[in-house]
Amino acid sequence: MNDTSIRIAVVGHTNAGKTSLLRTLTRRIHFGEVSERPGTTRHVEKIALEVAGRAAVTFLDTPGLEDAVSLREHLTAFAASAATPPDRIRAFLQGPEAHGAFEQEAKVLRAMLDVDAAFLVIDVREPVLPKFRAEIELLNSCARPVLPVLNFVRSDASREPAWRELLSAYGLHAVVRFDAAAPFVGAERALYEDLGTLLRDRREQLTRIVASLAAETTERRSAAAARIAELVVDVSALRRTVPSDEFNDTVRRQKLIADLQATVSTKAQRCADDLLALYGFREGDADEAPLPQLAGRWSMDFFSAEAMKDAGVRLGKGAAVGAAVGVVADMALAGLSLGAATALGATIGGALSQGFGPMGRKLINLMNDVQELTVEDRVLQVLVAWLLALVHALEQRGHAATGRIAASADPQAEPFIGHRLEAIVEAAEPARGHPDWEAGLTTHWFAPTERRELVDEVARAVRPAIDRA
């Protein structure tokens, strides 16, 4: 059984999207350089797709073919001395032109002779010109299996039918439709499955690669669900206790609310950054980020009137919000030590142990003249919808995309509206009674077992929304 790395040359005309395709297939946003300038890739660069810690596929990113028409004519000079097309290619590579006028083409052809197969990346927005026919003929001369990859197929300027007709004329009938900026679900799997028809001796290995990619998708979705669940539990547990006289002061109250909102937004953005990293993206430095749309924070004000209105549309309940703009004020138990709270609770006739937990808290806090701020369910629903929209966008996003990440403009079109958001927030309800479960309250904070179990339960409620998306 052949378990050595499968070597694939990624070839095509200048700016067809070869490097972009490799960023998507390997989930490496740092690989190569993506630019609108012609001829960005000038040398053959290698990048590996790893499975179980080993290189399963080694891709060779090649320069763009620039003058295939002239090179095809030049190769006719070798027809008498070289019996087969590959022999003519080898004879050309030994001559001075391979290091001069046709240096870029020579790099591509050397790579072609040293691989198992090639992906021919085609920008289907381009008109079918003679130079493309010459490129296909040159590549076929290397006698390696070629799998055309039609890129940018979602563009309104696509000329896909014309390209398919040309490819069929050269015997290239197996074609994969792929968009490196926004790949179709399943396109990556189809790419390797179709490659298996060209490389029969590697079919078993390619099948394992497909299975591994599917397992990675499952693991990634589980990790995303767990991270969102962690945030929901964390924000549900969040409480800020204040003396009643301070809360009744309008200026002080607004500052307290603003501070709480800032805390929630910081926690949510940290979660978003983790999701970006999980899917192979980064929230990077504007001067270094290869993808400009990720240079700025993909942020949202969860407490804005617009966000509340959006939540109302999603849930079908209107846009009414509390006077505290997404923050609930109530009598609080937080602020007392656990020991003091227990002792005080025992003095009111065991109300807490008899199922009067909320009432007991109100009595205790009435005695202590304190109130608390917590985040209301509507804000949590907005927050969850935002994060699910981000995961949904990342699931469909290639690592060569250049547009800003955005959720659907039509909330009703989202696949996680209505009861799903309510069920997720409701699952985290037990955290409301545990302000000590907020992450990071102490320097060496460690999540209690009960909290970890609740996070797992909330994650089980989140996962179906991700799978449905």
In-domain check, residue 203: no
Segment 23-38 shows an average pLDDT of 59
Shared domain for 104 and 38, answered yes or no, is yes
Other CB atoms within 10 Å distance of the CB of residue 35: 12
Shared domain for 240 and 386, answered yes or no, is yes
pLDDT at 326 over 50: no
Among candidate residues 198, 233, 254, the one where a domain is terminated:
198
Shared domain for 247 and 151, answered yes or no, is no
**Domain total for the chain?**
2
Half-sphere exposure of 406 (CA within 13 A, CB side): 7
Residue 71: which of 146, 137, 143 has the closest Cα? 137
Distance in angstroms (rounded) separating the CA atoms of residues 60 and 62: 6
Shared domain for 244 and 131, answered yes or no, is no
pTM: 0.74
pLDDT at 291 over 80: no
In-domain check, residue 160: yes
In-domain check, residue 208: no
Other CB atoms within 10 Å distance of the CB of residue 254: 12
Q: What's the pLDDT score for residue 146?
A: 94
Distance in angstroms (rounded) separating the CA atoms of residues 286 and 354: 57
Q: Residue 372 corresponds to which amino acid?
A: E
In-domain check, residue 360: yes
Among candidate residues 133, 168, 198, the one where a domain is terminated:
198
Shared domain for 163 and 23, answered yes or no, is yes
CATH of the domain at 37: 3.40.50.300
In-domain check, residue 334: yes
Shared domain for 70 and 188, answered yes or no, is yes
Among candidate residues 198, 228, 252, the one where a domain is terminated:
198
Shared domain for 266 and 306, answered yes or no, is yes
Shared domain for 331 and 451, answered yes or no, is yes
In-domain check, residue 215: no
238-255: per-residue pLDDT in tens?
888 878 788 778 888 888
| Residue 131 belongs to domain spanning | 6-198
Shared domain for 16 and 163, answered yes or no, is yes
72-103: per-residue pLDDT in tens?
888 888 877 777 899 999 999 998 998 888 99
Segment 251-271 shows an average pLDDT of 84
> Which of these ranges, 38-47, 257-266, 293-302, 426-435, has the smallest mean pLDDT?
293-302
pLDDT at 408 over 50: no
Shared domain for 165 and 307, answered yes or no, is no
For the CA atoms of 463, 266, 398, 210, the dihedral, rounded to the nearest 10 degrees, stands at: -40
426-451: per-residue pLDDT in tens?
999 999 888 888 886 555 567 788 99
Beta-carbon contacts of residue 249 (< 8 Å; ≥ 6 apart) = none
| pLDDT: which is higher, 317 or 81 | 81
In-domain check, residue 209: no
409-422: per-residue pLDDT in tens?
344 455 555 568 88
Q: What is the mean pLDDT of the chain?
A: 76
Q: What's the pLDDT score for residue 336?
A: 37
In-domain check, residue 210: no
Q: What's the pLDDT score for residue 383?
A: 84
CB 12 within 8 A of CB 136: no
Shared domain for 235 and 366, answered yes or no, is yes
Shared domain for 126 and 52, answered yes or no, is yes
